Every structure is written in C-alpha cells, then in structure tokens.
Amino acid sequence: MSNKKKLLILLHGYGADGNDLLPIGKHIQEKITNIEFISPNAFDKCELNPFGYQWFPIDEDRRYIFDEQIQNVTNRVFNEYVKKEAERRSLPISDVILCGFSQGGMISLAVGLRSIEKPLAIISLSGLLMNEIIPVGKNQPNILMMHGRLDDVLPKDFYEKSKNQLDLQKIAYNCKLYDDLSHSISHEEVEDLVDYLKTIISEN
C-alpha cells in the first residue's frame, strides 16, 4: 500500500456534530497510518436539535433535490474543508477522501460529483444521491455507497434509486447492502470501509 499521505474528511449526519464520527476516524487511522482525518461541524445549527448541526434543512416532502441551496453548501464544503485543508497539508485534491453518514453522505456524493477538481473517493454511509444532480466532468472519483436493509430513516429504496441514477449516467461505483443494519454504522461496515480504502490507496 502506498505511504503517500491522504486526507479523510468525515461529514456527520443531521442533528449531530463532528464528534459523532471521531471514533470511526480514529479506527481508520489506526488501520491505515498514512491517513489523516478531520471531522468538522456543519455550518448551521440544526433546526430540530439546538445542540447539533445540519448541512441543510430537511424538506418536509423528503424530495432531496439538488437545488441552489445545496449547491451553495457543496461549494462551501469544497472551498472551506476540501481545498483549504488539502492546501494546509500541501496535498492535491486527488489525495482527499470524503466520507459522510446520512446527510453527510449526501453532501459527500454531491461535492465529489459536482467539483471540477476530483477527490480520490466519495463515500456514503446510509445516504443517497440527490435528485436532479448533474455531475461535472467525464472522470469521477471512486464511489462507495453502503446502506442498511433495515434503514427506516432513509429506506433502502433510496439506495436502489441512487444506484439507478449512477447507472443511467454510466458512472462506476461500488456498493454494499447490509441485511441486519438500520440507520446506523456497524463494525462490519467500518471494517469493509477500511478494506476499501486500503484498496483504492494501493491503486493510487
């Protein structure tokens, strides 16, 4: 596996904060020592949980449309987290990995598909690919989507629809559905994530 440094940016879910994914970041760092990670807070306080944060407000209709508001959020994530943190470490964008849970997974996919400078990988844990998103560029990052069959917050239909969207646009991806997983992150899933990261880093 390559010893070249990589930056992993973890994006938390709706109503949580950056601390929520710290244990996962630390575990990955123990397994892959050339990965450095950050787990920042979203930009806005959560409308339904004043102790947490949100990347964007939840639409009552749960349509998850990539609109101007989401575009603005993805631009900020790219500029303030991806680009700035990569520059601080003298890393190219292509050495950055975006990984998010739930709403953070939606943002990870959107940032990677829409940015001109592509990260190494974009990973969604219990997230989805937003409707009406138009990818930028011919070459896309490595994509991994992981989801629980028992998810009752973002049911697996969203996972299947996300796969169909990527298929229609002829964008390659990896995915895995976990039979006994709800809207959460399991140990098995994290270990699979570690194996995936080892693979793409060794190929980079």
88-100, pLDDT tens digit by residue? 999 999 999 999 9
What would the pLDDT profile of 37-87 be if each residue is shown by its tens digit? 999 999 999 999 999 999 999 887 788 999 999 999 999 999 999 999 999
Contacts 24+ apart (CB under 8 A), 199-204: 200/120, 200/121, 200/142, 201/1, 201/2, 201/4, 201/6, 201/32, 201/34, 201/35, 201/120, 202/1, 202/2, 204/2, 204/4, 204/94, 204/95, 204/120
Q: Domain segments of the chain: what residues?
A: 6-203
Task: Supply the pLDDT for residue 2.
Answer: 60
- pTM for this entry: 0.96
CATH class of 6-203: alpha beta
What would the pLDDT profile of 156-192 be if each residue is shown by its tens digit? 999 999 999 999 999 999 999 999 999 999 999 999 9
